Amino acid sequence: MSFTNEIARRRTFGIISHPDAGKTTLTEKLLLFGGAIQEAGAVKSNKIQKSATSDFMEIERQRGISVATSVLAFHYRDKKINILDTPGHKDFAEDTFRTLTAVDSVIVVIDVAKGVEEQTEKLVEVCRMRNIPIIVFINKLDREGKDAFDLLDEVEQKLGFKVVPLSFPIGMGYDFQGIYNLWRKRLRLFDEANKTRIADAMDFDDINDPTLSTHIGEQAAATLREEIELVTEVYPAFDSEAYLAGQQQPVFFGSALNNFGVQELLDCFVEIAPTPRPKSSVERLVAPEEDNFSGFVFKIHANMDPKHRDRLAFIKVVSGTFERNTPYLHVRLGKKLKFSSPNAFFADKKEIVSVSYPGDIVGLHDTGNFKIGDTLTAGEVLHFSGIPSFSPEHFRYINNADPMKAKQLAKGIDQLMDEGVAQLFTLELNGRKVIGTVGALQFEVIQYRLEHEYGAKCSYENLNVHKACWVETPDPQHPDFKEFSRVKAKFLAKDKQGQLVFLADSAFSLQMTQDKYAALEFHATSEF
């Protein structure tokens, strides 16, 4: 198959939502319909049930939430589909924001009972900034929830969307009978005897067909006709160009847990979703069709397999082809590296791939060469932009709770910080280590992973820090910098890259310091 045909086959998308809207369950069911897995695992971690395919970290299985982005791929209707299932919990938003730099489109999952929630709004805002095409999936229709039209209004108002329903529910909760697919003019009914089984689809070119009432009942048929008429009058027709430009958002209804409405979503997705898109670099816009390879690291994951202590850097291929055993330029280090066993992920299996195309996600075994945001190319110096790094909001001293395991603790902290889970600061005054995170739950994850993956135990002490600011000085000999270094010595630290950081204990203190030392600049991110 030609290079351009391979690009046209790719669909790379992320699934985002507020926690517990059913994101990981939807990912599983997409894999199930794609034939990538034979049996879906329930996300709740009972001993009897399997755990979700995309939640491979032990702590995720225990808590029933996703704390890291999972990368999964499958083939469906001759398309290669790459899914990035992201954490919904706000404490892991940084991982999700970074992942959104690697996707070409997004599916937003909304709980029918809860509607649009806070974390959904924040994540959608990031997508809107980048004009990422979005499809909405309203989930859990087998439970009682909000009226479909009320939900569509809420999605439009809170998320600023222009929605186009492409499927519509027949009833809800106890009365839920199925879905009318407006995209295909097709009716799908729940099997009364077994609610998880889907009855065969029935085609209705004309919704006024009198036989409709024999399938769903007179009352439900009349209601459906009214609602579909209202939908076609109130909402615009689907416009592919507007969707790809991020100006129109198709909406599907369903129940991921019961496999319902998922196939309608998947069938439509493979037809309308964008193929790999060009990406901006500091130097120029890079198009997928270019001959020369380029890609960037958007995620690093240590201990994918705890038995082997392996560490993978996930690279999104932006242009050209990535080939096994071919030397590529690591732009930041300025040296060539080659990879003998690049991985692709098909459901819960890793496979070694010889060649990868734009849109694909490749896992590279890493011995410590990569940081998030690094660029690999065939030789050209490129720096892909827009991979955010946030100033932490929570700070704690980290202490070694087992003096016999100091080496393991140091290695564990080093590797977890490279993943972007948190940031490490070393105080200039006494060398004590401080961990800064975006969310408080990350401290628990770090503690758990240090113990179970590295055999090291740690404890925390609270530290009163308002904000970490990276300090830029025009001249280390400048009197302002010398005085600042002397007066604020106990608030100064170095980050993992050796850059100077000011740990301000309050907003007032930060403001006073900025006013007093006008020659210095204080930055909220390390990329200045």
pLDDT tens-place string over residues 342-400: 888 765 567 888 999 999 989 888 877 888 888 999 999 998 876 655 667 789 999 99
* pLDDT (average), residues 508-520: 91
Q: Which residue has the higher pLDDT, 201 or 368?
A: 368
- Residue 150 parent element (H or E): helix 148-159
Instruction: Specify the pLDDT at position 351.
Output: 82
The fold for domain 394-523 equals Alpha-Beta Plaits (3.30.70)
**Phi and psi angles of residue 512, each rounded to the nearest 5 degrees, phi first:** -60, -40
Instruction: Specify the pLDDT at position 207.
Output: 77
Instruction: Specify the pLDDT at position 503.
Output: 92
Q: What is the residue whose two structure tokens read 């439900």?
A: 220
d(CA 90, CA 94): 8
40 pLDDT more than 50:
no
Q: pLDDT-derived band of residue 203, with 50, 70 and 90 as boundaries? A: low
Domain limits, the chain: 3-97+104-272, 279-377, 394-523
Instruction: Specify the pLDDT at position 291.
Output: 93
* pLDDT (average), residues 91-100: 65
84 pLDDT more than 90:
no
Q: pLDDT-derived band of residue 193, with 50, 70 and 90 as boundaries? A: low
The fold for domain 279-377 equals Elongation Factor Tu (Ef-tu); domain 3 (2.40.30)
Highest mean pLDDT among 38-47, 176-185, 204-213: 176-185
DSSP β-ladder status, 134-139 and 70-76: unpaired
Q: What radius of gyration do the chain's Cα atoms show? A: 25
Q: Which residue has the higher pLDDT, 149 or 452?
A: 149
Instruction: Specify the pLDDT at position 197.
Output: 55
Q: Using a pLDDT cut of 90, give the percent of the chain over it.
A: 36
d(CA 311, CA 300): 7
Q: Using a pLDDT cut of 70, give the percent of the chain over it.
A: 84
Which of 497, 489, 493 is CA-nearest to residue 526?
Answer: 497
506 pLDDT more than 50:
yes
Residue type present at position 19: P
CB neighbours of 313 closer than 8 A, spacing ≥ 6? 297, 299, 300, 363, 364, 366, 369, 370, 374
Lowest pLDDT segment from 57-61, 244-248, 327-331, 408-412? 57-61
Instruction: Specify the pLDDT at position 196.
Output: 53
d(CA 496, CA 338): 26
* pLDDT (average), residues 315-319: 93
410 pLDDT more than 80:
yes
Instruction: Specify the pLDDT at position 48.
Output: 30
Query: For domain 3-97+104-272, which architecture applies?
Result: 3-Layer(aba) Sandwich (3.40)
* pLDDT (average), residues 30-54: 51
Highest mean pLDDT among 27-31, 188-192, 225-229, 382-386: 225-229
Tens of pLDDT, residues 115-152: 988 878 878 887 887 789 999 999 988 888 899 999 99
Structure tokens at 489: 């010595």
* pLDDT (average), residues 443-447: 86
CA 313 to the chain's CA centroid: 15
340 pLDDT more than 70:
yes
From the CB of residue 476, how many other CB atoms can be counted at a distance below 10 Å? 9
Task: Give per-residue burial for 414-428: e unless 16+ CB within 10 Å, then b.
Answer: ebbbbbbbbbbbebb
Angle, helices 218-234/148-159, rounded to nearest 10 degrees: 20
Lowest pLDDT segment from 15-24, 234-243, 323-332? 15-24
Instruction: Specify the pLDDT at position 69.
Output: 47
In the three-class reduction of DSSP (H, G, I as helix; E, B as strand; rest coil), residue 314 is classed as strand
Q: Which residue has the higher pLDDT, 30 or 491?
A: 491
* pLDDT (average), residues 197-217: 72
SS (H, E, C) 6-54: HHHHEEEEEEECCCCCCHHHHHHHHHHHCCCCCCCCCCCCCCCCCCCCC
Which of 12, 17, 13 is CA-nearest to residue 155?
Answer: 17
Q: pLDDT-derived band of residue 304, with 50, 70 and 90 as boundaries? A: low
Instruction: Specify the pLDDT at position 359.
Output: 92
* pLDDT (average), residues 493-501: 88
Instruction: Specify the pLDDT at position 45.
Output: 35
